[in-house]
Amino acid sequence: MYNNILTSNENGILTITINRESKLNALNIETLQEIKQAVTGAQTDATVTGIILTGAGPKAFAAGADISEFVNFDVKQSTKMSADGHEVMNTIERSAKVIIAAVNGFALGGGCELAMACHLRVASDNAKFGQPEVNLGVPPGYGGTQRLIQLVGKSKAIELLLTADAIGANEALEYGLVNYVTPLDDLLPRCCEILNKTATKSPMAIKAVINCINGYFQDGKDGFKTEIKEFGESFGTADFKEGTDAFLNKRKAAFQR
Ligand code: COA
């Protein structure tokens, strides 16, 4: 069904693996579209409780957009490439199902941007992050200039973007670019542990929280107003009835998907 990614659903956790190991999982346009398709499909798949996005092999999450593909693009093609890439990143960021990037090696350029679009990032201790685009004569084109600032602040973001320096997993942790660092063997289990926890929470409330957080950053949206709306509407949901009833009756909530 897909040419560039693998998907597997184990116990409700959908793992999307970028499967271009010989090219260090470089993101050609088709790969990005396949990721978008898999994430979009998961939104209406009741069996999916959470999503892991990772790269095949022990060396790379994704070493950037596929340079060999865009090298001959003209301005029109590169503008479309960027706009389409933004759509993919927005689809991930706005997913109602929690998405964790399991960063198993290089996350450079578009790879770093892809990881940053996910809700959380867990890195293996061999991971390397960077935005090396200025080496190629371009700025980042998949939201990197914006999301890096959001995650690490302007001071470090501007340094990383202007120097093209790659940083290791522990430095990424120190800057707040990743949530956790683990040995490579523990990477996917750690992600599953987090998703198994979020899977016990109200899916409607998870979706609302993601909407509110995105409201803080989204152009033309007001995060505070989004929160008032989401909070108000949550009172009309089955999850609210179940969550509050469970609390008052001293039992564990069992939310429907
Ligand atoms: N686009 C296309 N192909 C890429 C790629 C990318 N972003 N990153 C790696 N590859 C390919 C290499 O061309 C090579 O293919 P080949 O075996 O057919 O020649 C293969 O993946 C292995 O990469 P290689 O460079 O030999 O591995 P390395 O361990 O020596 O170096 C990196 C690893 C990540 C430092 C190096 O591959 C690199 O700098 N990649 C580009 C990073 C980048 O600039 N990304 C931003 C793009 S906008």
- CA 66 – ligand 1 centroid, Å: 9
- CA 111 – ligand 1 centroid, Å: 12
Q: Is 106 in the pocket of ligand 1 (CB under 6 A)?
A: yes
Q: What tens digit of pLDDT does each residue of 84-139 get?
A: 999 999 999 999 999 999 999 999 999 999 999 999 999 999 999 999 999 999 99
Q: Is 62 in the pocket of ligand 1 (CB under 6 A)?
A: no
pLDDT value for 219:
84
Give the C-alpha distances (Å, rounded to integers) separating 109 from 23, 176, 215.
Answer: 14, 18, 25
For residue 122, list its beta bridge partners.
102, 180
Is 113 one of the catalytic residues?
Answer: yes
- The answer to whether residues 255 and 201 touch, using CB atoms and an 8 Å cutoff, is yes
Q: What tens digit of pLDDT does each residue of 178-204 get?
A: 999 999 999 999 999 999 999 999 999
Mutate to test the pocket of ligand 1, among 23, 68, 114 (most ligand atoms within 8 A of CB): 23
Give the separation between CA 212 and CA 216, rounded to whole angstroms: 7
- What residue owns the CA closest to ligand 1's atom 11? 23
Is 133 one of the catalytic residues?
Answer: yes
pLDDT value for 220:
87
Global pTM reads 0.97
CA angle (164, 153, 101) in 5-degree steps: 70
- Which ligand 1 atom is nearest residue 138's CA? 48
Give the separation between CA 140 and CA 171, rounded to whole angstroms: 21
The catalytic position among 133, 174, 227, 242 is: 133
- CA 216 – ligand 1 centroid, Å: 35
pLDDT value for 108:
98
- CA 237 – ligand 1 centroid, Å: 48
Give the separation between CA 229 and CA 6, rounded to whole angstroms: 37
Q: What tens digit of pLDDT does each residue of 39-72 get?
A: 999 999 999 999 999 999 999 999 999 999 999 9
